[in-house]
Amino acid sequence: MSNILVTGAAGFIGAFLSKRLLDQGKTVIGIDNCNDYYDVSLKEARLKMLSGYDKFTFIKMDIADKPAVDKLFADYGFEIVVNLAAQAGVRYSIENPAAYINSNMIGFFNILEACRFNPVKHLVYASSSSVYGANKKVPFSTEDMVDNPVSLYAATKKSNELMAHCYSKLYSIPTTGLRFFTVYGPMGRPDMAYFGFTNKLLKGETIKIFNFGNCERDFTFVDDIVEGVIRVMDKPPIVKTGEDGLPIPPYAVYNIGGGRPENLLEFVDILQQELVRAGVLPKDYDFDAHKELVPMQPGDVPVTYADTRALERDMGYRPTTTLKEGLRKFAEWYKEYYL
């Protein structure tokens, strides 16, 4: 691989993916608009982690800016593109829908168009487990119907998959969508539950556990996500001819998840153990006094659970990090970074 583009390089997954590629000696061009959806200093810290690499170039730009995207592709001639830039967050999409249309729809269209006119060997892009909506069949399989999103965020991610399929069919662009399941770890997003819980507990505030604690989430450690992305990058879908003599679009979608859904109450229990162990919270902290069980929030779903058999079959990979291992690394990082 020569030049690799990672959009959303100041983001959680984007930064760790860039680091892993740079450690392998690859040349990475990272772009990000560094918006203030959450604390910008955390994005700056991730970029600082990458700044020591000679083969890393960072450009501050927005994928919704079509002329800038077109110029970027023309200037660098990317071989592989990993599109992780997106407006994240389910609940935020309820209050700020325009941000999701700009980044997740217009921005992704601009990336597809740039790949069309500046051919790449593989476009890998972030989808989300949210596309499964309130599916009652578990585990969630990429063979399942995903036509009933419960948030605009989910609708934009499903739209990305449809747009990618269209561009794969029309222009033979190899594309692979990755449905990530609840990614967590050090330097993660502060709007995620484990991070928000930690901030609130440290301040002595009460944490709200939705659906009265009856939710289950398929948590996936960031290093496992990165490993999955890299394996997929190296195996673009191949253009094949169908029975009708026409090309079959080089298009694929995979789940990347732990395949081990955790009850939120059990998750909180493991988190509090690791926060105490790391010295973030005192040993005598009264957790029961700081927990409140509340109803389900709009846009949420009761369970996420990844069927990862396709990823195992095609890429020989399945995430392995346990929740205790992952939360331990998060707690240790949190202590070092904030305290």
CA atoms of 331 and 198, how far apart (whole Å): 9
Q: What is the DSSP letter of 168?
A: H
Segment (H or E) for 83: strand 80-83
Instruction: State the chain's maximal CA–CA distance in angstroms.
Output: 70
Cα(339)–Cα(263) distance, rounded to whole angstroms? 29
Pick the catalytic residue from 37, 38, 153, 167. 153
317 among known catalytic residues:
no
* DSSP helix/strand/coil, 11: coil
Best CA proximity match to 5, nearest among 73, 61, 64: 73
Taking the CB of residue 206, how many other CB atoms lie within 10 A of it? 12
Instruction: Name every residue whose Cβ is closer than 8 Å to that of residue 215 and which is 6 or more positions away in sequence.
Output: 263, 264, 296, 300, 301, 302, 303
Distance CA 101, CA 94 (A): 12
Strand ranges for 181-306 from DSSP E: 183-184, 207-209, 216-217, 220-221, 240-241, 247-248, 251-256, 262-263, 291-293
Residues belonging to the active site? 153
